[in-house]
Structure 1
Amino acid sequence: MSAGCGIIILAAGASTRLGSPKQLLRFENSSLLERTISCACQTGLGPVVVVLGANAESLKNTIPGKEIITVFNGNWQEGMASSIRAGLDKTKEAFPLIEGVIITVCDQPFITSQLLKDLYNKHKESRKPVVAAAYRDILGTPVFFHRSLFDELNELKGDRGAKQIVNKDSSRLASVPFPMGETDIDTKEDYERLLQNKKA
């Protein structure tokens, strides 16, 4: 029997372009990290794993609930691939029968629990091992990967993340529309724009 679908939240980056941890930026009465964790927990899909790296101690103190699994990626400076591997290793270790994982980030403020559930449900309907969020002409995060692709995820290197797996073979790919996915926070200007649009 499978253990459902894990959700891996990548939160190890140093936010160098922003100048302060973007995970702690406030939006709608909570930090971006807290919002993402809340969405993941509300899905009820399975375990939630948060990968920390830069600023790990200050971030860990903001993580609510004992049910959240945290893992420290000591190699976070190598890029996103190292965080994916760290999160996946922890998930497989704790839940060896897990059916798949959704990999998400915490700098897309409009991620919802329904979107995460839609990704998993699309996999169940289509039987495709990869289900990515679609925005503009991009297929990206959040993205579901079936356990049959775990070995490929473990082979990722550098800062390209999992896009190379998403784009590798269209025959194994499905997608879910996420128009707001193009909003992500990398700079102070991005954050100011987010707050301005919220007021509008």
Structure 2
Amino acid sequence: MIVPHVAVVLAAGGSTRLGRPKQLLTRDGETLVHRAARLALASGASRVLVIVGAQADDVVSAVRDLPVECVVNARWSDGLAGSVRIAAEALDHATGATLLLACDQPALEVTHLQRLLEAARRTASSSAATRLGDRVGIPAVVAPGMLQAALAVQGDRGLRDALNAPNADVIGCDAPGLALDIDTPEDIATAVAKGWLDDD
């Protein structure tokens, strides 16, 4: 059984190293932002926020057919933390878990999101995250208190420090393919070779 939760898709970045919006790259003809939002909905989320910023009009248009809420981060160039703060503010009264995911991990599948949700149910912290080498990161399921900690975060770190704090009690779930996030043309080439992105 999937626990009640809301989901936040982080899709505001400027893709400066890539040179084009990663949100609009495609897998099987579907933009990555649409895919991430669709998987968030498929996870059973009662509410899905898509945080947009750079190329906002195009990103909003890409998810227009889905029952999601687009929230604009006008200061997207300040880094990931700003988007997480906006999500925390929008979900200020949320009492359940929040599933945080990005749109630049093309290997993501809904089964991993469901594993995270199930793992979060088994820990006192009600939090679980994706194991990425020697740390954990997003996608992640966080309790309301950890999400509100984002209000004090600056720069491009998001909730990384909170998720990896010694006393965080965050369960790590393996998903090796998610170590590849799309930042450079070389990342695109790797993802295309693995069948995770369309070759355009």
TM-score (norm 1): 0.90
By how many angstroms is 1:16 displaced?
A: 0.5
Corresponding residue for residue 178 of structure 1: 175
Corresponding residue for residue 189 of structure 2: 192
Maintained 8 Å contact 1:12/1:73 = yes
Distance (Å, rounded) in 2 between the aligned partners of 1:35 and 1:151: 26
Secondary structure at the counterpart of residue 136 of structure 2: strand
Maintained 8 Å contact 1:135/1:180 = no
Distance (Å, rounded) in 2 between the aligned partners of 1:70 and 1:20: 20
The residue identity in structure 2 corresponding to 1:108 is Q
Distance (Å, rounded) in 2 between the aligned partners of 1:76 and 1:171: 27
In structure 2, which of residues 104, 108, 111 is the aligned counterpart of residue 111 of structure 1?
108
Quick one: structure 1 residues 98 and 47, their matched pair in 2 at CA, closer, same or farther if it must change by over 3 Å? Answer: farther
Distance (Å, rounded) in 2 between the aligned partners of 1:159 and 1:50: 18
Corresponding residue for residue 153 of structure 1: 150
- Give the unaligned 5+ runs of structure 2: none
Maintained 8 Å contact 2:98/2:144 = yes
Mapping of 1:40-119 within 5 angstroms?
40-65=40-65, 67-92=67-92, 96-119=93-116
Alpha-carbon displacement from aligned partner over 1:36-72 (angstroms, at most 9, x marks no partner): 1111111113211100011101111111435201100
By how many angstroms is 1:170 displaced?
A: 4.0
Runs of 4+ off more than 6 Å: none
Distance (Å, rounded) in 2 between the aligned partners of 1:115 and 1:98: 23
Distance (Å, rounded) in 2 between the aligned partners of 1:152 and 1:129: 15
The residue identity in structure 2 corresponding to 1:73 is N
Secondary structure at the counterpart of residue 107 of structure 2: coil
Distance (Å, rounded) in 2 between the aligned partners of 1:19 and 1:75: 19
Maintained 8 Å contact 1:81/1:162 = yes
Alpha-carbon displacement from aligned partner over 1:83-110 (angstroms, at most 9, x marks no partner): 0011222233xxx243121111100011
Corresponding residue for residue 137 of structure 2: 140
Structure 1 range deviating more: 142-151 or 47-56: 142-151
Distance (Å, rounded) in 2 between the aligned partners of 1:171 and 1:104: 19
Structure 1 range deviating more: 142-151 or 68-77: 142-151
Count of residues paired in the alignment? 194
If each structure's helix is expressed as a fraction of its own residues, which one has the higher value?
A: 1
Alpha-carbon displacement from aligned partner over 1:125-182 (angstroms, at most 9, x marks no partner): 2232331101332311111110122331211111111111011134522111111111
By how many angstroms is 1:190 displaced?
A: 0.8
TM-score (norm 2): 0.90
